Amino acid sequence: MNIPARGCRRRAIAPRLCHRPVEPVGTERNSGTVTVRRAAAVLLSVLAVAGLAGCRGDDAGELAVTVSRSGCAPEWRTAHGGPRTFQVHNTGINTTEVELIDPGNGAVYAEVENLGPGSTRPMQVTLGRGRYAFRCLPEDTDASTGRTVTVHDGPARGAPAVVPVDEQVLRGSVTRYRRYVTDALPRLRADVSRLRRAVDSGDRAAARRAWLPAHLDYERLGAAYGTFGDLADAIDRLPAGLPDGVHDDGFTGFHRIEYGLWHGESMTALRGPTAALATAVGKLQRTFRTERVDPNDLPLRAHEILEATLQFELTGEADQGSGTTLATARANVTGTEAVVHALRPVLASRYRKLHAADASLSRLAGLLDAQRHGDRWTPVDELSRYDRERLDAATGDTLELLAPIAALAQVRRAR
């Protein structure tokens, strides 16, 4: 399920790993020098606060704060609990990330990302009893933390907070996932070779039997949305997006072979596509060792694999004749479990519904296993209405529980 042709997810999340402080300016920030810029900022903020506070009061919900190189929300001094909107205004010259944190452990309650110079954006948060501080992370500059404000009233617990994940923490997870894939690749390669021998021998029945195990080896890897780059297309693309569809020369890989095997194409005609598949899988094994994996991909993968399963396998769209999309879906559950397992050290302290997500995945696996009858899997269109609704609902439930992982485990800048 790793097919750009199926709609490559265009990543909108900026690779924030790239931010590096290049210019230590902490001394200036701490020097207490009031620059003209800062004076202007203070004036602006005073006006803004006066405008808002004049009718609503400082604690009635909305407060204007400024961020710049010389201050991180200096306007914020006291607070009552409850829902609150900060209008965060960047008076500085650097695009800045602004977080509201627990100064005790650095956990983030709310954030405004990529706040450009001169722009203002709202930050909404419910304050509970506890200690809060703004943290400003300007591009190319060290982070700074504003005054600690203690809330003594209002709800006991406010907005949920999460301790930021830094790249170092996530790297361990990536290593675990890479090992999982690396360990699985030899089996994929062997099963593809077996498929190739069956195709070359002209034995259609043997080739059909060999096709599914090889395909599932690949689907268990947990590939999704361009994980393996161009090789993903060569190995597992669907005919969508090709001008001549299943008859297009660009239709390659497992599904190309599946189409031929189950649509009466001559076995000779399938030799070429099978050889090309074997080549692509060999190349995958050779290059994966050195391919860089963006750590931020892994948390996204937690729900992306099954998003594609819902779109292509559970609808039956991916089926090219074998009627085994539920087997693919089951393999995708395994791939997802591998991703969640790799992320577990990151998630254990951060995601309170992790057990529910695990349970939901197990339940989905069980529902899929129930559609396996020896070597045969129920084709999607032969499912009873009730069984199909149950599978779809269980998948939807799992996806809702997996989706927060992408947000929770996203790498956030620490310094």
Partner 1 sequence: MSEEPDAARRGTDDDPPDTDDGLPGTDGERTGTDAALPGTDAARPGADGERGDAGAARRGAGGERWPRRQLLTGAIGVGAGAVAGVGGTLGTQRYARAKPAPRPDRIPFHGTHQAGIVDAAPAHTTFVSFDVLADDRAQLRELFATLTDRARFLTSGGTPANPGITAPPDDSGILGPQVPADRLTVTVGVGGSLFDHRYGLADRRPAHLTAMRTFPNDDLDPAWCHGDLSVQFCAPNRDTVIHALRDVTRATRGAMQIRWMIDGFTSPPRPSGTPRNLMGFKDGTANPDTGSAAEMDRVVWVGARQRGEPAWTRGGSYQVVRLIRMRLEFWDRISTSEQELLIGRRRDNGAPLDGTHEFDTPKYAKDPVGSAIPLTSHIRRANPRTARTRSSVLLRRPYNYDRGVDAVGDLDMGLVFVCYQRNLAAQFEAVQTRLIDEPLVDYITPFGGGYFFALPGVADGTDRYGSALLG
CA–CA dist 197, 207 (Å, integer): 8
Is residue 66 within 8 Å of residue 136, measured between CB atoms?
Answer: no
Stretch that binds partner 1, among 43-51, 72-80, 104-112, 142-150 (CB under 8 A): 104-112
If one asks whether residue 373 binds partner 1 (CB under 8 A), the answer comes out as: no
User: In the set 62, 75, 97, 111, which binds partner 1 (CB under 8 A)?
Assistant: 111
If one asks whether residue 404 binds partner 1 (CB under 8 A), the answer comes out as: yes
Q: In this complex, which beta carbon is closest to partner 1, that of residue 4 or of residue 103?
A: 103
Strands (E), 139-193: 144-145, 149-151
Nearest-10 Cα torsion for 277, 280, 286, 287:
-150
CB of 400 to partner 1, least distance (A): 5
CA–CA dist 138, 222 (Å, integer): 36
CB of 412 to partner 1, least distance (A): 8
Q: Which of residues 38-97 bind partner 1 (CB under 8 A)?
A: 83
**Token pair 């710049």 is at which residue?**
68
Is residue 221 within 8 Å of residue 181, measured between CB atoms?
Answer: yes
Q: Which helix (H) or strand (E) holds 186?
A: helix 167-201
- The site string for partner 1 over 119-158 (x = CB under 8 A, - otherwise) reads ---x-xxx--------------------------------
Largest CA distance in the chain: 85
List CB contacts of 85: < 8 A, sequence separation 6 or more: 61, 62, 63, 122, 123, 124
Count the site residues for partner 1 by CB under 8 A. Answer: 31
If one asks whether residue 265 binds partner 1 (CB under 8 A), the answer comes out as: no
Is residue 257 within 8 Å of residue 194, measured between CB atoms?
Answer: no
If one asks whether residue 110 binds partner 1 (CB under 8 A), the answer comes out as: yes
User: In the set 360, 365, 377, 413, which binds partner 1 (CB under 8 A)?
Assistant: 360
CA–CA dist 121, 139 (Å, integer): 17
CB of 159 to partner 1, least distance (A): 4
Q: In this complex, which beta carbon is closest to partner 1, that of residue 292 or of residue 415?
A: 415
Q: In this complex, which beta carbon is closest to partner 1, that of residue 222 or of residue 404?
A: 404
Q: In this complex, which beta carbon is closest to partner 1, that of residue 318 or of residue 364?
A: 364
User: In the set 5, 53, 169, 403, which binds partner 1 (CB under 8 A)?
Assistant: 403
If one asks whether residue 108 binds partner 1 (CB under 8 A), the answer comes out as: yes
CB of 404 to partner 1, least distance (A): 4
Is residue 261 within 8 Å of residue 204, measured between CB atoms?
Answer: yes
User: In the set 12, 54, 205, 386, which binds partner 1 (CB under 8 A)?
Assistant: 386
CA–CA dist 77, 75 (Å, integer): 6
Q: Which helix (H) or strand (E) holds 157?
A: none
Nearest CA to 149 out of 92, 73, 68 is that of: 73
- The site string for partner 1 over 214-253 (x = CB under 8 A, - otherwise) reads ----------------------------------------
User: In the set 224, 257, 380, 394, which binds partner 1 (CB under 8 A)?
Assistant: 394
Q: Name residue 84's beta-bridge partners.
A: 125
Q: Which residues would be at the binding site for partner 1 (CB under 8 A)?
A: 83, 108-111, 122, 124-126, 159-162, 360, 385-386, 389-390, 392-394, 396-400, 403-404, 406-408
